[in-house]
Amino acid sequence: MARMSAPDAPSAAPRILSGMQPTSDSLHLGNYLGALVNWVRLQDEFDAFYFVADLHALTVPTDPAVLRQRTRVTAAQFLAGGVDPKRSAVFCQSHVTEHAELGWVMNCLTAEGEARRMTQFKDKVAKGGNANVGLLTYPMLMAADILMYDAAYVPVGEDQRQHLEITRDLAERFNARFGDGGLVVPEPYIVKGAAKIQDLQDPAAKMSKTGSSPKGLIDLMQDPAKIAKNIRSAVTDTDAEVRYDVEHKPGVSNLLVIHSVLSGSSIEELEASFAGRGYGDLKKEVADVVVEALTPFQARMRELLDDPAELDRILASGAESARAVARTTMERVRERVGLLPAGR
């Protein structure tokens, strides 16, 4: 495999940051169409930083060997999906230790009651889950992830704006206490037209690594025959008309969205092409489109995973670029909060 150079020097473009947790053996089609394809586009507009959130993954008990493998797989899927390490910093969260350091500072700015009111922690406690202290302070580390890179924007869907609010609150709190300009207060970047891919078996719910059943999910490394089988068994309705109607025909609408995003055909064009045809034809065509789109992705994945040393080198190079920014931020933070400068 050809060796890749480090990302180019940061440009005047505003900075953007996003990440994903390595909490399953593969990303799924919802991750790909809802996030990864947009990350690729954003590289043209922004100085992009994309990371595997392996520290966040520690809030759930995982075998160490499994976590290492999942981390490599997640990073490889970023690259196979089109993220270019020559233009974007691709790295592991744990390789930039400043994340944990700034996370501690954010913890010290957060009241206990405020942390306990965070939705993720409350939901986990209510369900009797693994509600450890790491999960309690998860939003503070997430805020540190973002604030570390002076990111002007964070890409979020319309339904995710609230996830950014704690980060903005903490940045404003830090600046009020220690002086304006200490931390950049990021803005949400609403990705227009971002696809929301629903569970194939429960089209009222989003496709999810943790919430979907195996039949409701399409993972990106799935065997083509299994992909086709899951799509053929997708829940639709008793009305045979193929049309986009999220309220009354969520399953059919979900299949049309998947087809549209991958094929480039508009929903209206697809509705016209399936006029007088049934759901069997729709499912077969969607399966063909998905398999065709994932075939080169899977080939690139195998290439990357067959050369773990090169994949690790790409991650090390991305971490070096990220660390250069993180050091500058932490020097500023340490000075503001009153910590002595580290010896050289």
Distance, in Å, from the CA atom of 54 to the CA atom of 52, rounded to the nearest integer, reads 6
Structure tokens at 276: 């007088």
Instruction: For residue 206, indicate whether it is catalytic.
Output: yes
Answer whether 144's CB lies under 8 Å from 178's CB. no
Candidates 86, 209, 215, 283; catalytic one: 209
Answer whether 115's CB lies under 8 Å from 296's CB. no
Candidates 86, 122, 124, 226; catalytic one: 124
Distance, in Å, from the CA atom of 132 to the CA atom of 196, rounded to the nearest integer, reads 30
HSE-CB at 299 with a 13 A cutoff on CA atoms is 5
Distance, in Å, from the CA atom of 316 to the CA atom of 38, rounded to the nearest integer, reads 24
Candidates 206, 226, 283, 284; catalytic one: 206
Distance, in Å, from the CA atom of 166 to the CA atom of 156, rounded to the nearest integer, reads 14
User: E strands along 75-152, which residues?
Assistant: 88-92
Instruction: For residue 249, indicate whether it is catalytic.
Output: no
Integer-rounded Cα radius of gyration of the chain: 21
What length is written for the chain? 344
Answer whether 191's CB lies under 8 Å from 155's CB. yes
Distance, in Å, from the CA atom of 230 to the CA atom of 143, rounded to the nearest integer, reads 37
Answer whether 109's CB lies under 8 Å from 177's CB. yes
Q: Identify which of 262, 315, 259 has the alpha carbon closest to the alpha carbon of residue 284.
A: 259
Q: What is the largest CA-CA distance in the chain?
A: 74
Any idea which residues carry the catalytic annotation? 124, 206, 209
